[in-house]
Chains A and B, each alone.
Chain A
Amino acid sequence: MRRDEALVELSGVTKVYGEGTGMVTGLADVSLRVGAGEFLGIMGPTGGGKTTLINLIGGLDRPTRGTVRVADHQLERAPEDVIRLLRRRHIGVVFQAFNLLPSLSALENVALPLLADGLARRAAEPRARAALEQVHLVERAAARPAELSGGEQQRVALARALIADPMLLLADEPTGCLDTRTGAEMVDLLLRAHRLRGVTIILVTHDERIATACTRTVTVADGAIVADRRRPVGSTAGG
């Protein structure tokens, strides 16, 4: 990928759900370029297409029309296994509802992408431990999700998303289920990851704190991008 090329590029993307009288347009002819190292916040009213957009970028869904490029991969026509490989190694995903496996410990949940990539537990767990340290949860490595608070679960989810050192982190309302204080901690962790690792972050949020931390915010409403604002260069994130 060339330095001036976007890491993520959507061109004329339309996503339609259902058919006939039940047809719903999630996105309509949306185009977007996200450069490497950006911290992009996607905002907008409920049902506007934010989650649809992030799902398409992550390869969790395919557009009805248009193209979606992530790194050098055209996701709209790539084989499913290629997309999954991308997600194992280059794209981390954090969900609003945490989505941890309840029968695995925190450590094992974090190690999951490495195991999926064929690594043995022996090799994966030290890296998972290190990832948990980054989110200040190493002392809860053996705990099951049911034994963790919401904030702790989301931190485990973040560690899982970052363990493979991805180039892109996608997060759908990562603080949606968290209280104010915990949400703030999550924002700090995201900023840390962005600053220290240089990972490109695209997240959906209603949280103004996160929006302030973003280098760029895009507003999606009624299936279209209605606003695209960049934070002026030199101003600090979070302030």
Chain B
Amino acid sequence: MTFATLGALSVVRHLRRQRMRVVLSVTGVMLGVALVVATGTLATSAVQSMERVFETLLGPASIDVTGGDPGLPEELVSLVETVPGVADAAPVLFASVDVPDVPGIRLTVFGVDLLAHETMRRAQFSRAALQIVHPFDLVASMRAVVLSRTLASRLGVHAGDGLHVSTPDGSATLEVGGFLDGAGVAALFGGDVALMDLPAAQQMFHREGRVDVIQVLPVTGQEATVEPVLRTLLAGRASVGRAGVAASHLERLLLSTRVTFTLAALFACIVCAFLLRQTAMVSLARRVEEIALLGVVGFGRASITVTLIGESLLVGLVGTAAGVPIGVVLAMLCKDAFGTAIAPLVRMHIDAVKVDWTAVGAAVAIGLAMPVGVAIGPLVRAAGASPVRLLQRARGMSDGRDSRLHRVVPALGLAAASATALLNCPSSVTAFSARLALITTALVGIFLAASWCGPAVARTVGLAWRRGNHGAARAVGTLAPLVLLRVPADVGATAAAIAVALAGVLSIGALVSSLRATLPQALEAALPGDFVVSRGLPLLPSTPPLSSRIGEAVRGVTGVMAVAGHRAALGDSRGHPVVIIGYDAAVSAAHGARITVINGDERDLLLRVARREGVMVSDTFSRRFGLGPGDTVFLSTPDGERGFPILAVVLDYSVDLGTVVLDASAYREFWGDASVTSYEVWAAPDEDPRALRQRVSERIGYAVPVLTSRDMRAEFDGQLDHAMSIAYATELASGVIALFSVVNFIVVATHDRRREIALWGAIGTSRRTIERILHCEACLVGGLGGLFGVLLGGVTSYLVVRGAVPLVSGWWLEYRFPGSAALLAVPITIAVAAVSAVLPARRAARLPLVEALGTL
């Protein structure tokens, strides 16, 4: 009954009176919860979208057999068909083509055997859905294609029309032979899909004798027996599983991307926590008298404490309830950007958002725990404090001593410990979750240390100002800095909130700057040629390959001194996805390619790779698998598992899965794949590279981009911006939250000092001077937060680039601090604070004096 009584008397009325503060608190919780839900939901949706793709493609088949690039030998289909209990085994080939006339469209082509496997095809493409104009032409022509109706409408093509596409051989014209309607396959990848007869697709994409998936339809009731037999039969050559085997690979692919976005959401949550704490402290300060009087009349400490905590919990409940659906909406709005972010790994289209209930659970826990957790200490202290002391505090008669001013030493200790732990993570900590926990804990420790330092910093600046500005200060210069001395804890908390948000922005900025400083240079060092012929960024497995004919055409151009063909493909090492690079080591070594060796003998390394003495592995691979020079890496090939001795560990930034680099000829031989991801071209010494580039483009019919290092850098920058767009958005949200904390501080600062501000008016201070004092206070707090943020951003950005990134992706980046952003940070935060103060200062300057002074 006591709680209910207190709740009705105190909590509800207080919340109604403090509408703005409640709104701010709820908004803080809501934003943090929404970001966590959105991050988790996007990753889950990506995986589930891919699962749906495979389920849709799988049709009635319940088992699929898959392999990495360059696919499975087609003869495996016959082998699978011989397994008892297999009713049908249908091969499928995947490929992609660009439509040069319509930039931005990349068509996913499914090569299927249109004449066979009727049971499965009927289930996948019903008669109603598949509209073929001339069925015989479709299978007879090596260029006929069935487009989704959606795509055909977008392209404005009709049956019989030609469609120009960019293939591994360059430009080609496909003939539209029919349309695919409805949901299912036609809706995959946003409708950018096409069907071809399997042989035609194999020829067009130089995948003769290859397929990507074998869809297996077991005899009814025999699924359980067929799968293990297939697994044994195809061990080392292919993966066997239910639909979603490939999707589970995708989960691994997405891991580092997910971690990046999770860290961005973490920054935002920390800023929210600061806002909540500040709001709670302010709310508490305004109720000190009430709490004191409750104690005087006899309410117990437990009653008061539990009631106040219940109030925080109520705020958390409302914020969480609003944040979860907002997070889902956010995920819907960002799904395309997320798809772009993971494009370097795998091209996909998130067609529907599927709520990640684990992320929702985590968000709910954060949303409820945050408002209670940040306020529980001060609440318990206030509820247990002497009523007399509380009343003195309420009437501004406290002595100003604050134990929170003496936390600098423990704060510095905590910061040092957090930084040290993050930068020196033992190599024995291999579990990804453990590394993520370490990163999270270290960053939280740094921010906590910052918040502990905040009051002392504010007070120190205030004292220094007071001592140093003795003679010339007038009313504004005398009274405004007093805010640093009067409420150093509140100023410190607000400055810390701004600092954390700013640190997040600068950390993301440092990550981007460091990526820009490192990756393109590494790529240029590995690809020192004058230009590259490629359909995307070279040495990425998601870049569609080119045929050897392109290479022959390029080599035949006058003025070309050398051409190296490199292949990047997704492979498999004992069930783990890795990137395999078939690198033309001999040509590259002869023409100045530089590989940074981290571990191993770098003498004639490329030549030894060219002689097939072994392979190079990336630093990421080495950390992830615990292998180094002298060890053997096992890779799945079409002919089974094969071991390759490791010669050296090198820096490689193509993707963060882990890379194995072997000679291109070895790749061709063991994987039977003659396609090439990119051709690197060197001009003859007396050739003009620009003119040569033009001739090469002409020779290949302008069907394939010819990229200089500047083009590659621009492409990289564009992909990086897309990939980081979600992180940027998250940091923008953090900035907004930090802005709330400034507004919160100013509104409360003016309200809590009504009497003091009225006194200024009573002794004759003009309204204009009062406004200027309050503006100056806001600017001081904003400027302090900005400076603090730049310092803190320097620390956290270094920890992110040199601590978190290696742990997450294995990359070692050149650290670059975003100096220009940091320079702008302080004036921007001051400007924002000044603007935030306009209305509250105006209102405060116009207080009714008698009422505020309490002289009635």
A residues whose Cβ falls under 8 Å from a Cβ of B: 17, 51, 55, 58, 60-61, 80-81, 84-89, 91, 93, 95, 97, 99, 101-104, 108, 112-113, 115-122, 144, 146, 160, 172
Distance between B503 CB and nearest chain A CB, rounded to angstroms: 30
Q: Is B472 an interface residue (CB 8 A)?
A: yes
Distance between A49 CB and nearest chain B CB, rounded to angstroms: 11
Interface residues of B in 756-797 (CB under 8 A from A): 756, 759-769
A103 engages B485 (CB within 8 Å) = yes
- CB < 8 Å neighbour of B474 from A51, A61, A85, A121: A121
B471 engages A122 (CB within 8 Å) = yes
Distance between B690 CB and nearest chain A CB, rounded to angstroms: 68
A99 engages B853 (CB within 8 Å) = yes
- CB < 8 Å neighbour of B764 from A113, A119, A121, A122: A113
- CB < 8 Å neighbour of B763 from A51, A113, A120: A113
Once bound together, how far apart are the Cα atoms of A86 and B761, in whole Å?
A: 11
Please indicate the chain B residues that have their CB under 8 angstroms from the CB of A58 in the complex: 762
- 5 nearest CB pairs, A to B: A88-B764, A87-B764, A122-B471, A116-B765, A115-B475
B interface residues, how many (CB within 8 angstroms): 36
B764 engages A85 (CB within 8 Å) = yes
A60 engages B762 (CB within 8 Å) = yes
B759 engages A80 (CB within 8 Å) = no
Distance between A57 CB and nearest chain B CB, rounded to angstroms: 12
Please indicate the chain B residues that have their CB under 8 angstroms from the CB of A60 in the complex: 762, 849-850, 853, 855
Once bound together, how far apart are the Cα atoms of A91 and B397, in whole Å?
A: 27
Q: Is B470 an interface residue (CB 8 A)?
A: yes
Q: Is B75 an interface residue (CB 8 A)?
A: no
Please indicate the chain A residues that have their CB under 8 angstroms from the CB of B632 in the complex: none
Please indicate the chain A residues that have their CB under 8 angstroms from the CB of B763 in the complex: 87-88, 93, 112-113, 116, 160
User: Which of A80, A103, A113 gathers the greatest number of chain B CB atoms within 10 Å?
Assistant: A103
A51 engages B853 (CB within 8 Å) = no
Q: A113-B763, A115-B474 are in contact. List 18 more A-B contacts (CB 8 A).
A: A51-B855, A61-B849, A80-B767, A85-B766, A86-B764, A88-B763, A88-B764, A93-B762, A95-B762, A97-B854, A99-B755, A102-B396, A112-B763, A116-B765, A116-B769, A118-B474, A121-B470, A146-B399
B855 engages A120 (CB within 8 Å) = no
Once bound together, how far apart are the Cα atoms of A89 and B764, in whole Å?
A: 8
- CB < 8 Å neighbour of B759 from A99, A117, A121: A99
A120 engages B472 (CB within 8 Å) = yes
Please indicate the chain A residues that have their CB under 8 angstroms from the CB of B854 in the complex: 97
Chain A residue nearest to B848 (CB atoms) is A61
- CB < 8 Å neighbour of B850 from A61, A84, A121: A61
Please indicate the chain B residues that have their CB under 8 angstroms from the CB of A86 in the complex: 764
Chain B residue nearest to A51 (CB atoms) is B855
A104 engages B764 (CB within 8 Å) = no
Interface residues of B in 713-770 (CB under 8 A from A): 755-756, 759-769
- CB < 8 Å neighbour of A120 from B473, B762, B768: B473
- CB < 8 Å neighbour of A121 from B471, B766, B769, B848: B471
A146 engages B400 (CB within 8 Å) = yes
Please indicate the chain A residues that have their CB under 8 angstroms from the CB of B608 in the complex: none
A116 engages B850 (CB within 8 Å) = no
Please indicate the chain B residues that have their CB under 8 angstroms from the CB of A17 in the complex: 856
Chain B residue nearest to A60 (CB atoms) is B849
Distance between A185 CB and nearest chain B CB, rounded to angstroms: 22
Please indicate the chain A residues that have their CB under 8 angstroms from the CB of B848 in the complex: 61
B400 engages A102 (CB within 8 Å) = yes
